[in-house]
Structure 1
Amino acid sequence: MHTRTLGANGTHALSVSALGLGCMGMSFGYGPAHPRREMIGVIRAALEGGITFFDTAEVYGPFTNETLLAEALAPVREQAVIATKFGFRIDADGHRQNGLDSRPEHIHAVADACLKRLNCGVIDLFYQHRVDPEVPIEEVAGAVKDLIQAGKVRHFGLSEAGADTIRRAHAVQPVTAVQ
């Protein structure tokens, strides 16, 4: 499998397989969740086929997609790059609330919860799932920068962000990936 480099060369570069596996539909979004054992098999077959880049989010399920990915990749975690996302309001029982929440304290709490669900020591790529108009992007980027400095996150990404937002975020913390 060919690889691609996301981000600029140096410390902000992230090498991933040219193809990635988006895991949302395995447990959320497109009808009922598929059988867990079957989806674990799909994830492991993808890895055996050379796919090393896996995309999930706390909102997928909520939470269940991250735990599915963690279980599937547990024996081979060091071979995989996992991207997950923050930014939606979800209550402790896993019910998605209306609205976004990218306040720095929420980002920190989500990172800690994702680390537990993913059963890993660091999040490879942490995306803001949607731009939150209530929180300046500089504060969001600053919160992720803090997580990177704390060793909880390796790279910062943005999803559905415009060029100006990306530039402003990048001025605070280099953005490795945009989706």
Structure 2
Amino acid sequence: MKRWGIVLTALGLAVTAGGVAPTVAAAAPSAAVACEAGWGSLDKALATHSEEPLTNVRTGRHDCYDRMVFDVPGMTTANPAGHRVGYVDKITHVSETPIPVSGGAILAIRIATPVFLPGTTTPAYPVSALAAPLPGVNLTGYETFRDARYAGYYHGETTVGLGVRARLPFRVLTLPDRVVVDVAHTW
């Protein structure tokens, strides 16, 4: 088995040296990666309201968790955007219309900013359009994330339903210019 590892490594180096970059899939955490523990799955909240607008939502894959980032340019750690993040049985639009979200569990993510989600046309956002995936977010290939749906804007909060594989630990970070939600791959 060690020979195959050496051969594959040499082949990868030869291809890279030849100017063609090999395709690399997202790797599962190896024994050498120490994943943080202790995030828990209870609700997390910060009771503030940013005067800065929400401008973008993006995602990323990491060794131990999947990440969703809400960009709020101008936000600082001293004046962060408020948030409420927690597991729910279902997501509904402010009209009480249920919004289908795929996955074994659903995280409701509410970000307190004065502007509704970019890519939408009105704060009310037509209920008929809510079944569409979150604009600009592609979750193909993620280990934990399954689905993301915009659930509307109401009273200064943008709500997103994030479908995940199971009810897993998560954390919320408020960093300069963004609110970050990380969901662990395992307990």
The interval holding the TM-score normalised by the smaller chain is under 0.3
Query: Which structure has the highest strand share of the two?
Result: 2
TM-score (norm 2): 0.22
Higher relative CO (CA 8 A, sep ≥ 6), structure 1 or 2?
2
Query: Which structure has the highest helix share of the two?
Result: 1
TM-score (norm 1): 0.23
Larger Rg: 2
